């Protein structure tokens, strides 16, 4: 991965809401989110906004748009993995993951939602506002410890998912 992905935590609880959201998704959507994060966002970073997968929302907030299931993402970005492990289950996918750039080559994931379950403009704006608020709050309290390698790293979350399947 070219960029380190880190989940923003809630200061009061220390929990990472996007990790909880990912854990709550059904298998097909979670697989698509994992592939979108690892094969698209971690490789492209904010340049993802130059493709169908991203959009700049202003004020340093960006949106990763995942409209393809995991098999389609693998086919487009790493077909060798698809050949090696086979196609994950198909699923209807319309996910949004919000992020900001934090330090060099670090992406801070601040929000997410399943647009397919509620495509209304009002819901989208609510989620964007929530992500923008988290990003601003995080930047005001900037941790003094290095962001990369924290307990809320995408890499550690991914490993927990693999271990859970065993």
Mapped onto helix, strand or coil, the DSSP state of residue 69 is coil
Spans of all domains in the chain? 4-165
pLDDT 10s per residue in the chain (166 long)? 589 999 998 888 888 999 999 999 999 999 999 999 999 999 999 999 999 999 999 999 999 999 999 999 999 999 998 888 888 888 899 999 999 998 778 899 999 999 999 999 999 999 999 999 999 998 888 755 444 444 577 766 666 666 666 5
Separation CA 118–CA 96 (nearest Å): 11
Separation CA 89–CA 7 (nearest Å): 26
> Closest Cα to residue 41, out of 90, 88, 95, 93?
95
Q: How far is CA 136 from CA 35, 71, 99, 101, 141, in A?
A: 27, 35, 11, 12, 9
Q: Output the six-digit token pair for 152.
A: 């809320």
Q: Are the beta carbons of 95 and 73 closer than 8 angstroms?
A: no
Q: How far is CA 68 from CA 13, 30, 88, 94, 118, in A?
A: 33, 12, 12, 8, 17
């Amino acid at each position: 991965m070219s960029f380190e992905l880190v989940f923003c935590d809630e200061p009061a609880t220390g929990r990472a809401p996007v990790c909880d959201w990912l854990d709550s998704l059904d298998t097909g959507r979670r697989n698509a989110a994992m592939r979108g994060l690892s094969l698209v966002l971690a490789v492209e970073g904010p340049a993802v906004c130059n493709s169908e997968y991203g959009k700049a929302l202003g004020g340093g907030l960006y949106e990763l748009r995942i409209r393809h299931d995991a098999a389609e993402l693998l086919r487009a970005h790493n077909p060798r993995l698809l050949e090696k492990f086979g196609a994950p289950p198909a699923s209807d996918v319309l996910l949004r993951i919000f992020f900001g750039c934090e330090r060099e080559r670090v992406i801070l994931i601040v929000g997410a939602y399943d647009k397919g379950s509620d495509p209304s403009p009002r819901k989208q704006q609510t989620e964007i506002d929530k992500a923008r608020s988290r990003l601003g709050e995080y930047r005001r309290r900037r941790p003094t410890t290095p962001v990369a390698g924290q307990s809320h790293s995408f890499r550690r979350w991914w490993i927990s998912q693999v271990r859970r399947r065993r």
